[in-house]
A and B are shown apart, each in its own frame.
Chain A
Amino acid sequence: MKLLNAFSKMALGLTLLASAAAYADVVVIVSAKNANYGLEKNDVEQIFLGKTSTFPDGSKAVPIDQNEGSASRDTFNDKVLGKSASQLKAYWSRLIFTGKGTPPKESGNDAEVKALVADNPNLVGYVDSKVVDNSVKIVFKF
């Protein structure tokens, strides 16, 4: 009985660890040169789903995705957009084939997205918080 208890505690610990690993700390970033200081979840959703193409201050907003299969992308899709990879694909296929929108461009991994965003005040991306430095600023945490 004791052994079983210990075992189940260990299993619980492992599960917690595993979920911590699956959900790394992912944040939404813009260039340090961008004038916006914070975005609501709704703003992020509308920008990344192609429903608006401007930041709250009216400047042009261009979202970029990480490559398919990246852990940050899965976390972002799940926690911010609330959609699975196939649901997102279905969403975009409704727009692509009618000329009503195109999905954010796949632009590499955490470091590559950070570098691109740092250089261009119109870009908005999401990265693991570990790669954030003062060339970019965090506008949304989840």
Chain B
Amino acid sequence: MARIKLGLTTVLLLAGAQVAYAADDLQINGFLNVTGGVLDTASIQDAASTTGYDTTVGFDAQTLAGIQVAKKVNDNTSATVQLMSRGATGYTASAAWAYITYDLTDSSSFRFGRLRTPFFQYSDFIDVGYAYNWITPPGIVYRLDSMANITGVDFTQRFTAGIMDGAVQLYTGRFKDDFRLYGDTYMMELRSMAGVALSANAGDFGGRLSYHRGEFYIDLDPTGSRALDSLAGLSKLYDTANGIVANVPGSGVVPTNITADIIPQGHQSQFYEGTLFWDNGSTSLIAEFTALRHDSAILNDDNAWLVSGAQRIGDFTLHATYSETKDDLKSGTIGTAQELNTMTTNSTTLGVRYDYNSSTAFKVEATYVTREDSRDRQAVAGAAAANYTQALTNYQTPGHANYGNDTVLAGESVAFLTGVQNAIATPLATQSGTLFNIGMSIVF
């Protein structure tokens, strides 16, 4: 407990202590978000936008502090380190950013080191709650936060033309880290990752387009118990059963190899994003569209988007947001297999931001989440898989009544394939509930 507290306190003390010594070429800035939240029902506890919250008020999920120190080394080179302490990871301090900037010209620069992956409109400053109205951008759309940092290099060219201004950012690097999904942790890697982001503003209008790609690796274990492991295991069983049935003369069944498509081994993953916004200073509107496409089938392709409007009234800003994500399943047998692990989620957020002073904002939000998921399908498929695994064991166990009995095994194989069909025909389960949040954001 003492250690847990140390992280946050150290980061804050460091901030306080060093501001006093800020010299011309040394810049210290920091931010702090304290956020509390509670769910009105446990059924949406692990939805994309409610991660870390439960039915008792909690403050750890989104509370964080950051301190940034930037030092100018010479006229065109500077070093920047941003230390972060997050409640979600036990308040231990870690470097979210650590990079060297080299200014090539007045309007272009290279950065080398640990950077933020520029997937979304708000990616760059997603931890700086003061910079936007929400407690955090909708998790349904901002769903790549486990890949938020990349180690590599980027190049930015800024431009102005009349009332228009903007920037093109190119980056490349490698990502390797833990990746959490439905409460399980995987080791994930994206090699040869690269992307481009173009942003532009003209008067009250602005927009952003970005594209990202990488080669995807993940530590799947078909005999493991994590959700994706089970799926990989199931695909192996499916191929086995199909092979056995196909061997029965006159079955008309074609052997499958869906396992090869399910388990990623450097398969390409791609991400597309587009944003449009309008902001006249008191009224603002934003729409952001995103699409994720995997060549492997272990993670489903999906589309997710948000629309949001905000109205400023004095020191208060009222805002409303709708966001939605839908899986885009592949065709054929693979797409059918993906039906076992599909999900649709939408959320509606209403909130108020109050600017207490020019560095402190208070926020209150309610987010209504509705989710349809395939947990009932997985239960049916899991039972069929357990039966079939037992049947395969029996077939291979000398002395068992069904040892080496091809007829029984073929029958069990057909039963398993039927079980999978039944699982897919099982209706999706729907849950809904509301997340309530209060928060305070500070920058200094």
Contact = CB atoms under 8 A, between A and B. Distances in A.
Interface stretch (B122-130, B134-142, B397-405): B122-130
A96 B443 CA distance: 10
Interface in A72-88: 82-88
Contacts of A52: 107, 160, 165
A87 B310 CA distance: 13
Interface string B152-166: 000010101011010
A97 B359 contact: no
Interface string B85-120: 000000000000101010000110001000010000
Contacts of B443: 89, 93
Contacts of B131: 90, 93-94, 97
B124 A94 contact: yes
A98 B82 CA distance: 9
A58 to B, nearest CB: 10
A97 B66 CA distance: 9
A99 B29 contact: no
A100 to B, nearest CB: 7
B110 to A, nearest CB: 11
Nearest to A102: B27
Contacts of A9: none
A57 to B, nearest CB: 14
B106 A89 contact: no
The listed residue with most B CB atoms (<10 A of its CB), out of A42, A54, A87, A89, is A89
A102 B156 CA distance: 16
Nearest to A82: B281
A36 interface: no
A34 interface: no
A42 B203 CA distance: 9
B40 interface: no
A52 B166 CA distance: 10
Nearest to B24: A105
A94 B163 CA distance: 20
B160 A97 contact: no
Interface residues of B, number: 37
> How many interface residues does chain A have, given as a range?
20 to 34
Contacts, number: 70
Nearest to B162: A42
Nearest to B66: A97
Nearest to A87: B281
B125 A94 contact: yes
A97 B158 contact: no
A46 interface: yes
A93 B31 contact: yes
A33 interface: no
Contacts of B106: 53-54, 60
Contacts of A100: 124, 156
Given A53-B106, A97-B68, A97-B125, A90 B160 contact: no
A68 interface: yes
B128 A94 contact: yes
A99 B111 contact: yes
B321 interface: no
A130 interface: no
A46 B128 CA distance: 23
B128 A97 contact: yes
Interface in B11-43: 27, 29, 31
Contact of A86 (B70, B99, B107, B361): B361
Contact of A99 (B80, B127, B132, B357): B80
Interface of B: 27, 29, 31, 66, 68, 70, 78, 80, 82, 97, 99, 101, 106-107, 111, 116, 124-125, 127-128, 130-132, 156, 158, 160, 162-163, 165, 281, 315, 355, 357-359, 361, 443
Interface of A: 42, 46, 51-54, 60, 68, 82-90, 93-94, 96-100, 102
24 contacts: A46-B160, A51-B158, A51-B160, A51-B165, A53-B106, A53-B107, A83-B281, A86-B359, A86-B361, A93-B31, A93-B125, A93-B128, A93-B130, A94-B124, A96-B29, A96-B68, A97-B31, A97-B124, A97-B128, A99-B70, A99-B78, A99-B80, A99-B97, A100-B124
